[in-house]
């Protein structure tokens, strides 16, 4: 081992530090869904306010993910990781200390920015800590598995904390984890020293600003339409701003010499198809997680901990499918696994439609298992298909696009399905939930069709490299920083 290489102990502790950051980012996607009822009781906010608590985080996460990878290239991923973790910790404390819903939403937005800095730089730290390719592959798998475990246990952990200590505890718990992560990183993670003549990606400031404006105004329009109506001046103004910002973003990226989103990649059918599949699968999954969290607590009167446990069979099925996906994709190809997974998930949610009126959890648990297993097959196979669609020089950008598209899908899913179900206390909530399930089924049928007609039959070369825990929403597979 050369003097520049970290020792075995330091490598393991560096991996632990990177995993801690990834875990808290994933936890804060899922635990808040279980807190919606508690937040509603404490703040008395509307459904749109609750959607902003969730989507404020997802919005900034998605909007900045394509750019934060380049920050590590420019300023050292170790430093960016520590700054992002510190920002995440401060924002988490502010979330827990919030006395108004507006303060909580603003703090969640800042949390999302910290999360966008943590995820790509954490994987860069893993890559740097394990120079041997074989050891690196194992380390990345452990890093990804940590995110998958956080996703699976998020609703349960959130339910326990909320039930025993109140909703503020789900945010305060991030602070000591962040302190430990920052200290472990400082003590063990190797710093990156770049040669003076090494090329660096530029920061696409104009593209970043336009992306934030486009995503922000689109999110605002969908969420606020529930209370204000589609014909309100605010909603119409947001939609106009979204259209203008989107057109300007495309024009800016076409002119940029180093764009955050190289548009020429969308000329490849498989790249475009997998990007759309990422939007649709997260639209269905995270939209339904949000409305079912409300349904379990507001309609079936579950406590937060019981509501969290209600999701455990689904997330366990997801993890089981993650582990099965690699061998299946290697044998049958990513296209076949995508079609199968999308179809299973659609059938599972379709079977849930009549069961929501039963009042019995046992009437829906089998459908949850089928839907979860299908989702668990789709995401790693989708990742494999995306990486197979681009050359090695664009893998970082491609994975960033896929993760951003998934975050966008989750954001739209929460907003649209929240709009469909309306007030959780309304007599029409259950029928709205059935409509939301129908939308999810349609989205997953769209995934199957895109897989059938947009993915090449031979897309199986990289199946074995897909992370085991590929369902993590902010995404193990999409966190490779751009070169």
In this predicted structure, what is the pLDDT of residue 199? 55
* Residue 377: both structure tokens together: 């097959």
CA atoms in the 13 A half-sphere facing the CB of 452: 11
Structure tokens at 346: 């659609």
The span from the first CA to the last CA of the chain, in angstroms, equals: 26
Place of tokens 């290489």: 5
pTM: 0.76
- Structure token pair of residue 66: 């394509």
What length is written for the chain?
A: 483
Q: How far is CA 12 from the centre of its chain?
A: 26
As a three-state string, the secondary structure of 267-314 is HCHHHHHHHHHHHHHHHHHHHHHHHHHHHHHHHCCCCHHHHHHHCHHH
What are the per-10-residue average pLDDT scores of the chain (483 residues)?
A: 63 89 84 82 75 84 76 76 94 93 92 88 79 71 72 79 89 93 88 56 79 86 78 91 93 84 82 91 90 87 85 85 78 88 95 87 92 88 75 64 81 85 74 92 95 72 42 36 32
Hey, what's the torsion of the CAs at 198, 204, 205, 208, to 10 degrees? -130
- Quick count: other Cβ atoms within 10 Å of Cβ 201? 19
Q: Among residues 329, 307, 370, which one has the least CA distance to residue 470?
A: 329
pLDDT value for 344: 96
Task: Check residue 426 and give its pLDDT.
Answer: 67
Report yes or no: 215 and 63 within 8 Å, Cβ to Cβ. yes
3-state secondary structure of 173: coil
Number of H helices, E strands in the chain: 17, 0
DSSP for 349-394 reads HHHHTGGGGS--GGGTHHHHHHHHHHHHHHHHHHHHHHHHTS-GGG
C-alpha closest to that of 116 among 410, 478, 390, 379: 478
DSSP string, 78-132: HHHHHHHHHHHHHHHHHHHT-SSHHHHHHHHHHHHHHHHHHHHHHHHHHHHH--S
CA distances for 478 relative to 60, 114, 276, 407, 473, angstroms = 16, 16, 15, 11, 9
pLDDT confidence of residue 39: 86
Residues near 163 by beta carbon (within 8 Å), at least 6 away in sequence: 303, 304, 305
3-class DSSP state of 326: helix
Contact criterion met (CB below 8 Å) for 260 and 207: yes
């Amino acid at each position: 081992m050369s003097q520049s290489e970290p020792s075995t102990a330091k490598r393991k502790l560096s991996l632990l530090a990177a995993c801690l950051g990834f875990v808290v980012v994933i936890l804060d996607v899922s635990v808040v869904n279980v807190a919606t009822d508690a937040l509603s009781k404490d703040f008395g906010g509307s459904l749109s306010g609750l959607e902003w608590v969730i989507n404020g985080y997802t919005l900034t996460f998605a909007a900045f993910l394509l750019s934060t990878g380049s920050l590590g290239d420019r300023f050292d991923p170790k430093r960016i990781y520590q700054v992002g973790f510190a920002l995440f910790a401060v924002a988490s404390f502010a979330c827990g200390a919030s006395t108004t819903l507006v303060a909580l939403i603003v703090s969640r937005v800042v949390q999302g920015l910290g999360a966008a800095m943590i995820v790509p730089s954490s994987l860069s730290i893993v890559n740097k800590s394990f120079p041997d390719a074989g050891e690196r592959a194992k380390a990345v798998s452990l890093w990804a598995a940590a995110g998958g475990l956080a996703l699976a246990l998020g609703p349960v952990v959130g339910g326990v904390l909320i039930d025993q200590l109140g909703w503020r505890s789900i945010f305060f718990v991030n602070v000591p984890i962040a302190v430990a992560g920052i200290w472990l990183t400082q003590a063990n993670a190797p710093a990156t020293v770049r040669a003076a003549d090494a090329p660096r990606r530029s920061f696409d400031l104009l593209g970043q600003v336009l992306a934030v404006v486009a995503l922000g105004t689109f999110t605002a329009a969908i969420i606020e339409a529930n209370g204000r109506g589609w014909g309100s001046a605010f909603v119409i103004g947001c939609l106009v701003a979204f259209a203008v910002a989107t057109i300007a973003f495309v024009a800016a990226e076409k002119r940029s010499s180093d764009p955050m989103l190289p548009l020429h990649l969308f000329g490849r059918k498989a790249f475009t198809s997998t990007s759309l599949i990422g939007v649709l699968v997260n639209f269905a999954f995270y939209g339904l997680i949000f409305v079912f969290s409300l349904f379990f607590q507001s309609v079936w009167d579950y406590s937060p901990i019981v509501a969290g446990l209600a999701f455990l069979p689904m997330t366990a099925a997801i993890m089981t499918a993650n582990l099965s996906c690699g061998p299946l994709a290697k044998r049958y190809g990513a296209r076949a696994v995508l079609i199968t997974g999308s179809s299973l998930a659609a059938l599972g949610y379709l079977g849930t439609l009549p069961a929501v009126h039963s009042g019995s959890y046992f009437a829906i648990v089998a459908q949850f298992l089928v839907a979860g297993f299908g989702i668990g097959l789709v995401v790693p196979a989708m990742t494999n298909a995306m990486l197979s669609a681009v050359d090695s020089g664009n893998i970082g950008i491609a994975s960033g696009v896929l993760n951003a598209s998934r975050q966008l899908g989750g954001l739209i899913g929460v907003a649209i399905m929240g709009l469909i179900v309306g007030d959780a206390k309304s007599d029409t909530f259950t029928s709205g939930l059935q409509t939301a399930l129908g939308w999810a089924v349609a989205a997953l049928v769209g995934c199957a069709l895109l897989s059938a007609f947009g993915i090449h039959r031979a897309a199986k070369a990289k199946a074995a490299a897909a992370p085991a825990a590929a369902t993590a929403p902010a995404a193990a597979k999409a966190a490779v920083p751009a070169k």
